[in-house]
Amino acid sequence: MGQLVTKDLIVFLFYFIIVAGYGYWIYQRKKNTHNDSKDFFLAEGSLTWWAIGASLIASNISAEQFIGMSGQAFQLGLGIASYEWMAALTLLIVAIFFMPLYLKNKIYTMPQFLRQRYDGRVSTIMAVFWLMLYVLVNLTSIIYLGALSLQNMLDVPFFWCALGLAVFAIFITLGGMRVIGYTDVVQVFFLVLGGLATTYLALDLVSQTMGRGDGAWEGLQLLKQKAPEHFHMIYNKGENLVYSGEPSGGLTPTKDPWQELPGLAVLIGGMWIANLSYWGCNQYITQRALGASLPTARKGLLFAAFLKLLMPLIVVLPGIACYVIFKNGGNEAITQGMKVTDVTTDNVFIKPDNAYSILLNLLPAGLKGLAFAALTAAIVASLAGKANSISTIFSLDIYKRFFNKEASDKKVVITGRWIILIAFAIALAIAPALKSFGQGFAYIQEFTGFISPGILAMFLMGFFWKRSNANGALAATIISIPLSVLLKYTIPSMPFMNRMGVVFMACVALIILFGLLDPKSKDNPKALEVDSSMFKMSTGFLVGVVIVSAILAALYIVYW
């Protein structure tokens, strides 16, 4: 991909100065709280609802979506938007049911909840597990995918792209959650602005190459006209088959979209497990709201839900636009860029994950810089959020519990800052080894599907069934991965979403079995006090819930 020109660099420099300058200003405003552990890790009581909502989205959207989800949209179509639109509904569920339980019990970390509800064994095992997952998988994969995409844009070696992203993220992360939360507002602004500009140019390109040149609206109509198979949300088995080569080449279909988005399981099955586990039981996400009051936390989650409705415009439509242009040979750069030759067989294959990067190469000067800023904002915000969660879990659930129980707040914060640096050093060392990555988004979703069922079962049963005990929680956690692997290889035709559903039910059954076999669980002193009044919603929040739900219902009815 060609290098950025002067106009692009000026736009990007403007973005960098705004984010860095605003972050430094926020940091300087609260000098007296820099060594307060709750302020550093949670920004307790200081994040507004709009900062919480923006931070949730900035931390969630990364190269995984820009590169991976656009690639899936190229290959599968609008159906992949279910990950974003169903997440909007999930955020409402978390706001209504999960947040009251966390905030009433003064939960600051997910391991802390497990320790209070179950015991130290469950808490410590999961704390170590989450640290390994966040550092070795999440932080590493974000750096890898981000550096790879920037390498294509800048024509700069992979290592320097990775190091630049890490240093930028460290600069923000060392300021604590307050700096992360408020700079994420700026990050989201650039993310949305740059993303929408890219989508507009993609649709305009479709209009220019295949229509009358009347602009983006005509481009959108052409997408629906020339690729109607790419505008369905619910797939039936055996329909809309995907080819590994050129669509016009008559090659044998190699992929059934139903395997990744298995019909109604998207609405009532396994996707709920993935979403509830990610948005409701994930330190990386829930941390943004744990330091706020319930009304503020709920407003922030509602704002994030509205932003989620917008995300497919940014990460899905560009992929479909590339597909239409490629399928119809409307642009030489896209047509050639999507093809990869297998040197062992001389067969030509489509590389869906190339779609977004190739599209960015076609943007005019200035707008390419804006798109570069949007992509960088998404990556850096995700890195900062993930690193802060790593720091929080290690400092509060490992260091202060096992290494220095009497540590002062200042000592805990210093430890947290060192852990941030160590985590980035490990991720930078491992990231180049991920070059064997397949299609990024599908790989990450399936991998997390191995662990999500056990985690969600442990949390949900801990919330709402008083007889849930530590042995049952441990059993559910332990069985989730091996049972998922067993099903994957013994029943390879089973979609991974359906597999998550089966494993989740098995984990719930284990927790129930252990609870029923334990006579002491009838009067479990660790059970949470739950009553319906905890879930009462304000009128304004309820109106927002109804609006989001109505928009989602309309989208699925129109694009079923």
SS3 labels along 441-466? HHHHHHHHCCCHHHHHHHHHHHHHCC
What pLDDT, in 10s, does the model give residues 292-314? 788 998 999 999 999 999 999 98
**DSSP H helical segments within 174-246, as ranges?**
177-210, 216-226
Does position 445 have pLDDT exceeding 50, yes or no? Answer: yes
Mean pLDDT of 178-188: 75
Say yes or no: 431 and 476 in one domain: no
What pLDDT, in 10s, does the model give residues 482-521? 999 999 889 988 888 889 999 999 999 999 999 999 888 7
- Is there a domain that residue 374 lies in? yes
What is the model's pTM?
Answer: 0.84
9-13, 221-225, 438-442 — most confident range = 221-225
Say yes or no: 153 and 293 in one domain: yes
- Is there a domain that residue 230 lies in? yes
pLDDT, position 253: 45
Mean pLDDT of 314-322: 89
Say yes or no: 491 and 469 in one domain: yes
Sequence-ordered list of residues with C-beta below 8 angstroms from that of 309, at least 6 positions apart, any chain: 84, 85, 88, 548, 551, 552
Mean pLDDT of 105-123: 85
Say yes or no: 348 and 488 in one domain: no
pLDDT, position 425: 93
The DSSP bridge partners found for residue 349 are 340
Say yes or no: 44 and 121 in one domain: yes
Say yes or no: 525 and 540 in one domain: no
DSSP 8-state code for residue 235: P
- Chain centroid, CA 57 distance in Å: 8
Query: 241: left (phi > 0), else alpha (psi -120 to 50), else beta?
Result: beta
pLDDT, position 407: 80
Say yes or no: 418 and 516 in one domain: no
- Is there a domain that residue 161 lies in? yes
Of the listed ranges 213-227, 240-254, 378-392, 513-527, the one predicted with least confidence:
240-254
E strand or H helix at 426: helix 409-430
**Inter-CA distances, 263 with 334, 398, 450, 499, Å:** 31, 42, 20, 14
Provide the token pair at 292.
């706020």
Can you give the residue range of the structural domain that contains 465?
A: 449-529
- Is there a domain that residue 265 lies in? yes
Alpha-carbon torsion (98, 102, 104, 105), positive or negative: positive
Determine the 3-state secondary structure of 269 from DSSP. coil
- Is there a domain that residue 1 lies in? no
pLDDT, position 381: 79
Contact 299, 91 (CB under 8 A): no
pLDDT, position 268: 85
- Is there a domain that residue 248 lies in? yes
**Domain containing residue 154: CATH number:** 1.20.1730.10
pLDDT, position 247: 46
Say yes or no: 389 and 468 in one domain: no
Say yes or no: 56 and 148 in one domain: yes
How many domains does the chain fold into?
A: 2
Contact 47, 178 (CB under 8 A): yes
What mean pLDDT value characterizes the chain?
81
Mean pLDDT of 447-469: 88
Mean pLDDT of 93-119: 87
Sequence-ordered list of residues with C-beta below 8 angstroms from that of 297, at least 6 positions apart, any chain: 49, 52, 95, 99, 103, 289, 290
DSSP 8-state code for residue 346: -
Say yes or no: 368 and 502 in one domain: no
Q: From the CA atom positions of the chain, what is the Rg in Å?
A: 23
Question: 């091996």: which residue's tokens?
Answer: 482
Say yes or no: 402 and 523 in one domain: no
Say yes or no: 486 and 417 in one domain: no
- Is there a domain that residue 383 lies in? yes
- Is there a domain that residue 33 lies in? no
**DSSP H helical segments within 328-366, as ranges?**
332-337, 355-361
What pLDDT, in 10s, does the model give residues 23-62? 777 777 765 555 556 666 665 556 788 888 887 887 777 7
Which band of pLDDT confidence, cut at 50, 70 and 90, is reported for residue 335? Answer: low
